Amino acid sequence: MRKILVAAAFVAFAAPAFGASLFDETEKISRTVAFEPGGTLRVKTFSGRVTITASDKNEVAVEAVRHASRDRLDRIKLDIHREGSTLVIDTNHREYSWWDGMRNNVVETDLDIAVPRRTNLDLNTFSAAITVDGVEGSSRVHGFSSR
């Protein structure tokens, strides 16, 4: 009985410590990019939350909170770049290798994005909750189990 209590106490106290240090870290990223009304915002994400709000500024402001192990946060980047009049946000950008098929290559990302009121949206998600408020452009939403 004593061994069971000692083992249970170890699991109760050690598991949260190991889980926090080995598996979950948080990284916060803020970026602001000049952006003209009428352009397109393309978001590619796997899981987390996407909230897009209209603003009266000629810029896109991105607040990202990323959750994953330190190894994944270091390997898998938040990529924000332009393709003509389109601003692309890719929350799971990485260099591919043969080893990728055997690794967990997802960083859960919560995005809060402010865009000019007249912005077209192209949203590609797998399992991310999506909220859009006040945006007047066209929108395409592709999702597997998004809400």
How is 20-65 classified by DSSP, letter by letter? HHHT-EEEEEEEEEE--TT-EEEEEEEEEEEEEEEESSSEEEEEEE
Within 10 angstroms of residue 85's Cβ, the number of other Cβ atoms is 11
pLDDT at 78 (0 to 100): 95
Structure pTM? Answer: 0.79
pLDDT tens digits, one per residue of 33-51: 999 999 999 999 999 999 9
CA 15 – CA 1 distance, rounded (Å): 21
Q: With cut-offs at 50, 70 and 90, classify the pLDDT of residue 85.
A: very high
d(CA 101, CA 43): 23
Is 19's pLDDT higher than 50?
no
* Confidence at residue 27, expressed as pLDDT on a 0 to 100 scale: 96
Alpha carbon 16 to its chain centroid, in Å, reads: 24
Looking at residue 111, its pLDDT comes to 98
Angle at 45 between CA 31 and CA 73, to 5 degrees: 65
Mean of per-residue pLDDT scores for the chain: 84
